[in-house]
Amino acid sequence: MNRQHIGILFGGVLLLVVAMGISRFAFTPILPFMRHDVGFSFEVAGFLASSNYIGYFIGALWAGFINRQKKNFLLLSVVLNVLSVVLMGIIEIYSVWLVLRLIAGITGGLIFVLTCSIVMDYLAKHSLTKWSGYLFGGIGLGIAISGLLVPVIEVRFAWQGTWIGLGILSAVFLVVTYILWRDLHVQDSVKTAKSSDAKMTKGFMPWLIVAYGFEGLGYIITGTFLVDIIHNIPSLQAYSSYSWVIVGVAAIPSAPVWTVLLEKFSAIKILFFAYILQVIGILLPVFSQTVWSVLLSSFLFGLTFVGIVTLTTSYARQLFPTQSGPVVSLLTTFYAFGQIIGPIIAGQLVAVYSSYKAALVFAGVIVFFALIVMLCGRWITVKRQATVDNALPIKTQSSP
């Protein structure tokens, strides 16, 4: 890779740091401090989280219809995203927080889909597809950054200053990306045939979409409440911030590692392994509340949730290499829809059972169900294809 290729890829990584690691997931380590100072419940926190995920659903769906001026639309979304983060620390009105988290979600969904589309298409154009896994490392890098900075900034400037500080950092990353992408020209993608969407829908595997949606529903419960859960275990309170750092550290190399494995093994086999590890990571705190079990849970969660995103997206792009925008948008939309429901259900379960364990058990069961859907769907598809192949007439060479 030359300097320009590295710059384009690194700029994409920084945008995912902004949209995912900071705007979206910084809420996780900040949440315990906000709940302590403001005094709102676990259930209310679930509504704040779901507001963000409703926005993410809208943004991911919207991005699929953007075919012109992608770069400019993307950069504008980043500006609005940064403002929504900064304002979280300036305005202390719950109803406004709901709106700001919604805006952060909408712009976050747009940023994720458009960034993936632009960077992955660029890499494919220059025969550098094998480097696409590093793009998703931006999610883990952002989580690690937020996990390290939140407790440091909060000590001096409280949770309000933490939001503002992370917003300023996001603005810096935006400026750096703008400079790195100054020579990047993104072509408008104009549909030339009305049947393109029908062709994609016909060939796309619905079981992969459904499984991905359930994965979004299950994983997000741990992704939203992990730090708060650990923070509320007296013997582990000191390790709550470290747990989120470990999630990020594990997530940073996970995307390229899973991508390398994808080149050697089938996507379904690797996804099976990733799902199983994630279920173990989600359920560990239910059965063991030791320091090592919690840290291992964090590591497995960070290792797998970015990995499943990378593997599913890469697998879908293998099926439709020239339709990266619509494919990523479709998958992300269902993923986001699952995330809307997850925090609300988790908040209700904690309120009813007065224990975070019920929420984690629910999350683990849902992720395992997603795995079952994927395996059954794959088996049915293979069986149907075999039936079709066997039914095809055998062509024989006719004599002159």
Q: How many CA atoms lie within 13 A of 178 on its CB side?
A: 13
Quick: pLDDT tens for 40-56: 777 888 889 889 989 98
Residue 144 lies in a domain: yes
Residue 136 lies in a domain: yes
Within 10 angstroms of residue 377's Cβ, the number of other Cβ atoms is 18
Question: What is the residue type of 111?
Answer: I
What single DSSP character describes residue 127?
A: T
Residue 93 vs residue 239, higher pLDDT: 93
Structure tokens at 87: 């304002």
Residue span of the structural domain in which 375 resides: 3-184+197-382
Confidence bin at 396 (pLDDT 50/70/90): very low
pLDDT of residue 337: 85
What value does the mean pLDDT take over residues 13-32?
91
Whether the per-residue pLDDT at 294 is higher than 50: the answer is yes
What value does the mean pLDDT take over residues 182-211?
64
- What's the pTM value of the predicted model, to 2 decimals? 0.80
Q: Is the dihedral of CA 171, 257, 217, 314 positive or negative?
A: positive
The mean of the pLDDT values for the chain is 85
Structure tokens at 226: 């992990």
In this structure, of 93-107, 207-221, 361-375, the range with the lowest mean pLDDT score is 207-221
Residue 45 lies in a domain: yes
Residue 396 lies in a domain: no
> The CATH number of the domain where 51 resides is what?
1.20.1250.20
pLDDT of residue 236: 81
Q: How many residues comprise the chain?
A: 400
Return d(Cα 335, Cα 169) in angstroms, integer. 27
Return d(Cα 277, Cα 280) in angstroms, integer. 5
Quick: pLDDT tens for 76-88: 999 999 999 999 9
Residue 63 lies in a domain: yes
pLDDT of residue 35: 87
Residue 171 lies in a domain: yes
Whether the per-residue pLDDT at 122 is higher than 70: the answer is yes
Return d(Cα 71, Cα 64) in angstroms, integer. 14
CB 63 within 8 A of CB 109: yes
Q: What percent of the chain has pLDDT over 90?
A: 37
Residues 6+ apart with CB under 8 A from 370: 211, 212, 213, 214, 215, 217, 218, 275
What value does the mean pLDDT take over residues 197-220?
74
Helix (H) or strand (E) holding 33: helix 27-38
Cα-based angle 20, 22, 27 (whole degrees, multiple of 5) = 100
Q: How many domains does the chain have?
A: 1
Quick: pLDDT tens for 242-267: 888 898 889 888 888 888 888 888 88
Q: Which of 36, 46, 22, 63 is nearest to 324 (CA)?
A: 63
Residue 48 lies in a domain: yes
User: Dihedrals φ, ψ of 301, to 5°?
Assistant: -65, -50
Residue 395 lies in a domain: no
Residues 6+ apart with CB under 8 A from 354: none
CB 64 within 8 A of CB 113: yes
